Amino acid sequence: MIAERPLAVLVLTALLAVPLWALAVDEPFTITLATRAAILALAAVGLNIALGMGGLVSLGHAVFFGIGGYAMGILAYHAQTYTPLEIFGLSIEGTKSMPVIWLVATLVSALAAWGIGLLSLRTSGVYFIMITLAFGQMFYYFAISWSAYGGEDGLSIYVRNGFPGVNTLVPIQFFALCFALLCAALFLNARLQAAPFGLALNAARQVPARVETVGLNPVRLKLVAFVVSGAITGLAGALFADLNRFVSPTMFSWQLSGELIVLIVIGGVGRLMGPVIGACLFVTLEHWLGGITEFWHVFLGVILLLIVLFARGGLVGLLTGKEGPHV
Amino acid sequence: MKKLLLATASAALMASAAMAEVKVGMITTLSGGGAGLGIDVRDGFMLAIEQSGRDDIEVVIEDDQRKPDIAVQLADKMIQSEKVDVLTGIIWSNLAMAVVPASVAQGKFYLSPNAGPSALAGKGCHENYFNVAWQNDNLHEAAGAYANTAGYKNSFILAPNYPAGKDALTGYKRFFGGDLAGEVYTKLGQTDYAAEIAQIRASGADSVFFFLPGGMGISFLKQYADSGVDLPVVGPAFSFDQGILQAVGDAALGVVNTSQWNKDIDNPTNAAFVESFSAKYGRLPSLYASQGFDTANLLISAVDKADVSDADAFRAALEAAEFDSTRGAFKFGPNHHPVQTIYAREVIKEGEVYTNKILGPALEDHADAYAGACKM
Amino acid sequence: MSFLLIAEQVLNGLQFGVMLFLMAAGLTLIFGVMGLINLAHGSLYMVGAFAAAAVAGATGSFLLALIAALAAAALAGAIVEMVVIRRLYAAPHLDQVLATFALILIFSEGTRFVFGSFPLFLDIPDALSGPVTLPGGIEYPLYRLSLIGAGLAVAAGLWFLTARTRIGIQIRAGENDREMIAALGVDISKLYTLVFALGAGLAGLAGALVGAIQSVQVGMGEPVLILAFVVIVIGGIGSIKGAFIGALLVGLTDTLGGVFLPELFKLFMAPDTATQTGSALASMAIYILMSLVLIWRPSGLFGVRL
């Protein structure tokens, strides 16, 4: 058994050590895999704020992931073709600068999360799962038929966007950026959990009525959590698009929303390091099992089942010997 | 199943062969809904490699699950870790768009055994990108040309609402000389076409053109055959390939479709290919299998002539395309896409098996519409 | 656009709705009685279609194929319930979503392992093939009419089962208070297995009936599953009546939206863009409908619980 804080240090050190080792032995693809894990972990950290702290089982978080991806895709596309983006009568230049893209991705996802959250939070339980799924499907079908930006074919960005002082084309440097953002999001998440907001949100998840009696609005608390959550997932979407130098409607698909949930549950719902452990394990399994058999989904399914049935609280629960919060 | 394992085993065997001179990375769809196409391409490709008896070509095969981000990741892996010289295998246009531009920009060769998006044939063409199958519009253009010769004057046309669907209708309209009784975009992945069939019935059309690949086409044809609408149907080969015809059954009988290949194209290479493919895998080859087979033979012909490390010489050897194609003579246009004859063929039943028979050429020596925009 | 065409399209919408009901009924029943979200319901639909195709291929009889579909799906459902689902009744929704998501992976790739990667063949029986002429002069496929009939018969059967039989009373009682009926001596775990198998069997039957006019292939269940969820959420989860009305609403919206939205846009747009915009909006229509219903009535049209 191991306490949560040393576990966090251990996991992050491991995630940092693997690409450094890969750099030493010249295995650049392992760095790419680690980057993928870090980005998926970031997306799942975002979802975990809504899911673990707010109890909001969103099966539509791919919406924000996709919005982040398309924010990157559209801005970089206009920069790459030297055509300005015409919107609301304004003519905006595209950009290849990561900080600007990140800002736009975060803001637009937050805005979308606010709108979707406002409508969806009128429902609860299974209905909430389903209405978020419905929003996901709307964005998915919209993106497929949005021919200005490639429709189902998606958009290819030929060169990765830039960050001042960093050569993003070098895998290890791009990894470092993603890893830094992941750590920042984890730090934010930890601070939120300990802050009065986090405590109130926790209470709102368990007994909404009691929160109301002390004069707080549980729905508003959840809405704030949903917006923060969507913004972080959106940022991850922009990074994911940059990793692949490609965006497509599959970033909006319900399977992706499902996978994000899978990551969290494997790792441990509502646990700080749950999404990180889940993402690392998922990427490893995908890579390793996929190499062994083309029927690897069967084994992935069995592993998931075993985790749900016998490791309540996910791997973090198993390692720390404590069940996680109930959602 | 056993055959699949054998194919994988032979790939693994080759992977262990020491001192291979050319390393090929094949990214294709081997699991999930569209796996049938990828398996055909892989089997055709590996058959040609095996028949060549060479041990200086090493093939690494990976499954993209039909997901663009996985395909990109696999391409990174093949380029960064496996250090392949040539990439191939992608089935779907959206995956090709995700992988090809970045790969050729890194100096790798890409030989497409299936997808031919217009962006890669026109302005986005590249000296290291070769398409061995067709440009996406080609078969649809041939369908339009066939409709003219068949005397159709008023077509109802439908395709899914995504880029390849729009290209399909554009391609048909580019060659079809008659009027349109209706033009409908269906939902991608749609399975029920009752509403569209009712529109067809009411439209006063004299013919129907559709592009609905895979399961969508199976559903449409079965429902159309049962609807009592008996207008002639024409479409590209993608809804009539050997893999899915058995699932459509009688509903497909007599339907005319367009293809650059068929198993009865009369040349020794094709006859040997059909025979050896059937013997090895226990099923008839599809057009996808023929494309995989041709792609491998093109590669072998280039390896014979030039060293892959000398990119200019290797490219010239690929451009020459001196190999025996299952389609007979084979040549590339200036944008590295085939200039070829596309046939009209009809679905027939041979014993218990549904298959196609060639009626005649629909377009001869046909190049694509985008070649002019390609500045290589 | 003639009145006849509109009437035919309404009929198409109804038929699509009735098919969705067959899927949704099992789903809503399982949720209503056991409180379980079953994402693997679409896999049972696929199992039914594959079983039907295999049996029809071997025997040539469509009736035997239907029976096989029903039996195979019910059996698969019962096994899954006893091995996995049973442990999830008390678990949070999240665990249920995840476990049944895992079951989808296992079912899909398992089926591909057994049947291969190519679609299977299943055809309409000769007796039901071809169109018939309806009063008013609409030519309509006989098989689709039979589907409407089959769906309505199942709806009536379910109503009879829940309202008029002993087992139905137990089911309804189980929805309300599972401790109480267990105390009254009903074997609750047997009842749950039975209900799950019933829902699974209905999904399998739907798979076989629809498989005859569509493509029997791996992954065929997932698009339908999403639609079925939309249906039961609109109708109110757990309500059979809600599922029926929801199914018809979704069927009509999807069919009529696809036909009329492009026409509508043509009134004030160029035909080319109108067709594309209209089709894009049509593919989003049912999800827009669902969110509107939920914003208006957060527990669906006939939902009471939660």
Q: How far apart are CA C69 and CA A76, in angstroms?
A: 51
The answer, for C1 touching chain A at a CB cutoff of 8 Å, is: no
The answer, for B120 touching chain A at a CB cutoff of 8 Å, is: no
pLDDT of residue A326: 61
User: For the purposes of burial, counting CB atoms within 10 Å of the CB of B253, is it exposed (0-12), middle (13-18) or buried (19 or more)?
Assistant: middle
Contact A67, A61 (CB under 8 A): no
Q: Is residue B168 included in any domain, yes or no?
A: yes
Give the global pTM: 0.86
pLDDT tens for A117-151 read 999 998 888 889 888 998 999 999 999 888 888 88
Q: Is residue B197 included in any domain, yes or no?
A: yes
pLDDT tens for A29-66 read 899 999 999 999 999 999 999 998 889 999 999 999 99
Q: Across residues A260-273, what is the average pLDDT?
A: 89
pLDDT of residue A323: 65
Degrees to nearest 5, angle at CA B110 with B105 and B116: 105
Residue B249 and residue B359 share a domain:
yes
- Cα end-to-end span (Å), chain B: 44
The number of folded domains in chain B is 2
Degrees to nearest 5, angle at CA A152 with A150 and A157: 45
**B-contacting residues in C 36-75 (Cβ below 8 Å):** none
CB distance A59–C306 less than 8 Å?
no
Q: Across residues C70-78, what is the average pLDDT?
A: 96
Q: Across residues B311-322, what is the average pLDDT?
A: 95
Residue B297 and residue B204 share a domain:
no
Is a pLDDT exceeding 50 seen at residue A203? yes
Of the listed ranges B60-64, B286-290, C302-306, the one predicted with least confidence? C302-306
Model confidence at B224, in pLDDT bands (50, 70, 90)?
A: very high
Residue B191 and residue B61 share a domain:
no
CB distance A156–B162 less than 8 Å?
no
Q: Across residues C105-119, what is the average pLDDT?
A: 87
List of chains touching B (3+ CB pairs within 8 A): A, C
CB distance B105–A158 less than 8 Å?
yes
* A117 C-beta neighbours (distance < 10 Å), count: 25
Residue spans of the domains in chain C: they are 3-218
Model confidence at B17, in pLDDT bands (50, 70, 90)?
A: very low
For testing contact with chain B, the best of A294, A298, A299, A300 (most B CBs within 10 A): A294
Residue B360 and residue B214 share a domain:
yes
Q: Is residue B123 included in any domain, yes or no?
A: no
The whole domain housing B164 covers 138-261+341-373
Distance from CA of C211 to the nearest CA of B (A): 9
Q: Is residue B131 included in any domain, yes or no?
A: no
CATH number where B55 lies: 3.40.50.2300
Q: Across residues B286-315, what is the average pLDDT?
A: 95
Residue B351 and residue B249 share a domain:
yes
Q: Is residue B41 included in any domain, yes or no?
A: yes
The answer, for C15 touching chain B at a CB cutoff of 8 Å, is: yes
Q: Is residue B125 included in any domain, yes or no?
A: no
Is a pLDDT exceeding 90 seen at residue B214? no
Residue B276 and residue B251 share a domain:
no
**A-contacting residues in C 247-286 (Cβ below 8 Å):** 276, 279-280, 283-284
pLDDT of residue C235: 92
Model confidence at B33, in pLDDT bands (50, 70, 90)?
A: low
Model confidence at B317, in pLDDT bands (50, 70, 90)?
A: very high
Report ipTM (2 d.p.).
0.84
Pairing relationship of beta strands B179-186 and B154-160 according to DSSP bridges = parallel
Element (H, E) at B86: strand B86-88
Q: Is residue B332 included in any domain, yes or no?
A: no
CB distance C216–B246 less than 8 Å?
no
Could you give the residue ranges of the DSSP H alpha helices within chain B? 2-16, 35-52, 68-80, 93-105, 118-121, 138-149, 163-175, 194-203, 215-226, 242-248, 268-281, 287-305, 311-320
For testing contact with chain C, the best of B1, B192, B221 (most C CBs within 10 A): B192
pLDDT of residue B189: 83
Residue B227 and residue B357 share a domain:
yes
For testing contact with chain A, the best of C86, C94, C293 (most A CBs within 10 A): C94
Contact C40, C170 (CB under 8 A): no
pLDDT of residue B16: 43
Distance from CA of C103 to the nearest CA of A (A): 6
Residue B304 and residue B252 share a domain:
no
Q: How far apart are CA B360 and CA B342, in angstroms?
A: 9
CB distance A290–B97 less than 8 Å?
no
The beta-carbon neighbor of B76 closest among A32, A145, A152 is A32
